[in-house]
């Protein structure tokens, strides 16, 4: 038995719906008879086309510019609580992003309903149940939510594929709930993007990731050059080098970073800790370059090369350039 | 200034965790326990704030008696006092119960800033700071990768998917910090000795006038646990000068070059 009403908290950036939200709308079509999206952004209305095409019948658009001037968690949770009261959704899906977590956490506390995070699968058979994996994805766990409606589930991006349903734009319903004065105590005064040019980490056909084995931050240039030679490729990183300040967090792959599912993932000087591999083991193919033949990364590599990454990566870049120029 | 830092004692993250097959709770018996490494950054952030602005750090923790070790470690690092909320009924608490208990403890203690990690290393639901902020009715300044305090204005770089935002907030707030926000200090010998005489309180949910928290009221339960399918290893070659060419062949087979 499907649910009556499933909502998706949809994030919008640069006038476009974030892919993670469209993945959730696609999944929501299986779970509920009515699928709706809620957006908090001055650009909310621009998402109606994408949201509709992925299954949202309605888009609740809270487009007060104040939503971008403050931290979203407080005011969005307030507005959502009011909307929940009015429309009584059975389930609200959030993507596991910073804002998704901020809003979902506050909303759960406000409504006193349970929240499950790190979801990789969601099912609704009368009740809502969630699949997730624990201990570095060695165990799959199913959790049933039984603490009242709406169930709040935070889903890891890339858990589902976004597929258009062929429907037209979502019906726009403006939400005119003002941002309370108390939320203006935490203001966003500047936004900085640290993403490299070229394809996005989550969308590239090939991800070339570097770890501590690169020995020096400047050796990430070798990976940039390799990605450049491949073409549709982006550079990622392990947390060890992000924490060390070598590269920005936006490049981190893993449990506390991004999930990527490229055609090929190339791990360069990365040991293969569970917390890293949960973010990349969904790749179609994995290549690992590591000088330690016992490195755990080789246990899941389709092709492993035991050797010095600082030698092999430049050679590979040259080899690809040579082949491409033929 | 009053800074409250939340810490948690967890099974050593360097050993693979296990679930008790009958209760589906985390197995804690026979497992080394340590202070969640993520919490060390929170303790350090709290100590830095009071070193600069004056005041005291209070450590709060919810969990079994063994959780005292994590609190003691934070005291040895330099915190002034500790509180452990412990009760059999709290076993199996979900994220929301945890947030309610910690929020009530912080409120009882009084605070300008409550600091947490962004998520725990063992459970990583990652919504406790936000839920606490909602209960305490203050802003949640989350995912901080750098922290500055100027009077009662906190200036934080907040990690985002794309980079970071600069957030300014007036106190009181809940602040969640990422690994990498600072370099946590090691407890000195003097710190360890001094910790023994610092106040360490025990509370129960009843002391906090809380009901409906703990395992019995968790709105969720694990219904199935099974091993996850694992990827197998493929071809492993030693680089003899031909490694790069072999990778190029592989990329060509996969049609990405
Ligand atoms: C709660 C939690 C969350 C975490 N989240 C993440 C996460 O999201 N993402 C993540 O990546 N990690 C995460 N980690 C950290 C993770 O456990 C590992 O510490 C980290 O992934 C290790 O990074 P690394 O592989 O770069 O470094 P190391 O483990 O130090 O590995 C470096 C590797 O480089 C190899 N090497 C050295 N020199 C060379 C050379 N010249 N040529 C070839 N190989 C060489 C070595 O053999 C070694 O295998 C998390 C940890 C915790 C506790």
For the stretch A144-196, pLDDT in tens is 998 789 999 999 999 999 999 999 999 999 999 999 999 999 999 999 998 77
pLDDT at residue A96 above 80?
yes
Instruction: Provide the β-strand partners of residue B226.
Output: A140
What is the average per-residue pLDDT within B117-136?
Answer: 93
Partner-chain contact B133 A106, CB within 8 Å: yes
> What is the Cα A298 distance to its own chain's centre?
26
Stretch A70-99: mean pLDDT: 97
pLDDT digits (tens, 9 = 90+) for A206-259: 999 999 999 999 999 999 999 999 999 999 999 999 999 999 999 999 988 999
Same domain, yes or no, for A34 and A126?
A: yes
Reported as a single tens digit per residue, the pLDDT across A117-128 is: 999 999 998 789
Give B-chain residues touching A134 at CB under 8 angstroms.
17, 19
- Min Cα separation A222/chain B (Å): 14
Question: Total structural domains in chain A?
Answer: 2
Give the model confidence (pLDDT) of B182-191 as tens digits: 999 999 999 9
Query: Whole-model pTM above 0.80?
Result: yes
Distance from CA of B147 to the nearest CA of A (A): 14
Rounded CA separation B50/B48 (Å): 6
> Alpha carbon of A267 to those of A212, A319, B62: distances in Å?
11, 18, 39
pLDDT tier at B94, thresholds 50, 70, 90: very high
CATH code, domain with A127? 3.40.50.620
Each residue's pLDDT tens digit, B66-75: 889 999 999 9
The answer to whether B90 and B214 are in contact (CB under 8 A) is yes
> Going by DSSP bridges, is the β-strand pair A3-10/B173-177 parallel, antiparallel, or unpaired?
unpaired
Same domain as A217, residue A167: no
Closest by Cα among A302, A289, A267, A293 to B235 = A302
The answer to whether the CB of B116 falls within 8 A of the CB of B8 is no
Nearest by CB to residue B243, choosing from A186, A285, A305, is: A305
Range of the domain at A40: 3-184
Q: Specify whether A291 is located in the same domain as A161.
A: no
Does residue A193 sit within a domain? no
Go through the domains of chain B in sequence order and give each one's CATH number: 2-217 (3.40.50.620)
ipTM metric: 0.93
Helical H segments across chain A, by residue range: 19-31, 48-53, 66-69, 73-87, 98-111, 220-230, 239-243, 274-277, 309-325
pLDDT in tens, A13-37: 889 999 999 999 999 999 999 999 9
Interface test with B, best of A9, A71, A157 (most B CBs within 10 A): A71
Average model confidence (pLDDT) for chain B?
A: 93
Q: What's the mean per-residue pLDDT of chain A?
A: 95
Q: Give the confidence band of A1 by pLDDT, cuts at 50, 70, 90.
A: low
Q: What are phi and psi of A97, to 5 degrees?
A: -115, 175
**Alpha carbon nearest to ligand 1 atom 7, residue:** A254
When CB atoms are compared, the residue of A118, A141, A323 closest to B257 is A323
Domain end among A184, A214, A239: A184
- Is a pLDDT exceeding 90 seen at residue B21? no
């Amino acid at each position: 038995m499907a649910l009556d009403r499933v909502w998706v908290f949809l994030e919008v950036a640069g006038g476009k719906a974030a892919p993670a939200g469209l993945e959730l709308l696609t999944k929501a079509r299986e779970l509920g008879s009515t699928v709706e999206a809620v957006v908090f952004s001055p650009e909310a209305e621009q998402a109606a086309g994408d949201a509709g095409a992925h299954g949202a019948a309605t888009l609740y658009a809270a487009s007060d510019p104040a939503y971008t001037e403050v931290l979203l968690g407080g005011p969005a949770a307030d507005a959502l609580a009011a909307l929940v009261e009015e429309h009584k959704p059975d389930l609200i899906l959030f993507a596991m992003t910073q804002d998704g977590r901020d809003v979902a956490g506050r909303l759960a506390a406000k409504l006193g309903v349970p929240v499950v995070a790190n979801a990789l699968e969601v099912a609704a058979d009368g009740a809502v149940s969630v699949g997730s994996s624990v201990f570095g994805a060695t165990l799959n766990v199913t959790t049933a939510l039984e603490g009242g409606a709406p169930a709040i589930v935070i889903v890891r991006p890339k858990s589902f594929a976004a597929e258009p349903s062929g429907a037209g734009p979502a019906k726009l319903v403006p939400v005119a709930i003002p941002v309370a004065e108390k939320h203006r105590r935490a203001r966003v005064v500047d936004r900085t993007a640290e993403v490299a040019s070229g394809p996005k980490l989550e969308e590239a056909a090939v991800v070339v990731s570097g770890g501590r084995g690169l020995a020096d931050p400047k050796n990430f240039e070798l990976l940039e050059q390799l990605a450049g030679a491949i073409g549709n490729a982006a550079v990622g990183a392990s947390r060890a080098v992000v924490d060390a300040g070598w590269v920005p967090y936006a490049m981190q792959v893993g449990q506390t970073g991004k999930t990527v599912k490229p055609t090929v993932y190339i791990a360069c000087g990365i040991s293969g800790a569970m917390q890293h591999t949960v973010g990349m083991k969904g790749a179609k193919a994995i290549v690992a370059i590591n000088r330690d033949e016992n490195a755990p990364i080789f246990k899941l590599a389709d092709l492993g090369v035991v050797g010095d990454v600082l030698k092999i990566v430049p050679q590979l870049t040259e080899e690809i350039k040579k082949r491409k120029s033929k | 200034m009053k800074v409250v830092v939340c810490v948690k004692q967890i099974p050593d993250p360097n050993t693979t965790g296990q679930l008790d097959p009958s209760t589906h709770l985390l197995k804690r018996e026979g497992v080394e326990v340590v202070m969640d490494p993520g919490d060390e950054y929170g303790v350090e952030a709290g100590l830095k704030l009071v070193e600069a602005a004056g005041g005291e750090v209070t450590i709060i923790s919810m969990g079994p008696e063994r959780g005292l070790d994590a609190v003691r470690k934070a005291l040895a690092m330099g915190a002034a006092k500790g509180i452990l909320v412990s009760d059999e009924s709290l076993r199996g608490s979900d994220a929301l119960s945890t947030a309610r208990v910690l929020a009530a403890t912080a409120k009882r203690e009084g605070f300008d800033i409550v600091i947490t990690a962004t998520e725990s290393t063992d459970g990583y639901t990652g919504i406790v700071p936000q839920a606490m902020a909602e209960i305490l009715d203050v802003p949640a300044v989350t995912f901080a990768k750098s922290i500055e305090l100027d009077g009662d204005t906190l200036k934080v770089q907040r990690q985002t998917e794309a980079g970071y935002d600069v957030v300014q907030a007036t106190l009181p707030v809940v602040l969640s910090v990422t690994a990498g926000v600072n370099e946590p200090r090691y407890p000195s010998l003097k710190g360890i000795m001094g910790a023994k005489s610092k106040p360490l309180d025990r509370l129960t949910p009843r002391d906090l006038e809380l009901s409906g928290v703990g395992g019995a009221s968790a709105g969720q339960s694990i219904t199935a646990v099974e091993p996850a399918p694992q990827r197998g290893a493929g071809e492993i070659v030693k680089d003899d000068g031909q490694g790069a060419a072999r990778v190029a062949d592989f990329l060509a087979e996969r049609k990405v070059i």
